Amino acid sequence: MFGIGGQEIVIIGLLFLVIFGPSKLPQMARDVGRFVNEARRSIDEFKEELTSVEDDEDDKKSRKRARRDSEDDRPNSTDEDEHDL
């Protein structure tokens, strides 16, 4: 995890305990947990929005391609008129 081992995490925890005290530490941990949770939720929503926009663009392209292909398959009315002459 970020190149930090177990000993380093214990030392960081002890530093936080000494600096902020035992009364503020649980509230700080809750606040950090809420922040991380909200950040993950925002990232997930952003990813979903990007994929939905990408899917919409793909759908538009495929519809255009399908229309173009169906128009190419239909005989032109001018072609039929020339054959009748």
How many Å is the Cα radius of gyration of the chain?
A: 31
Judge contact between 17 and 25, C-beta under 8 A: yes
Q: Note the pLDDT tens digit of each residue in 25-66.
A: 889 889 999 999 999 999 999 999 888 877 777 777 777 777
Q: Is the dihedral of CA 2, 3, 9, 15 positive or negative?
A: negative
pLDDT at 77: 57
Contact 28, 20 (CB under 8 A): yes
* Alpha carbons 5 and 39: distance in angstroms, whole number: 24
For residue 73, the model assigns a pLDDT of: 66
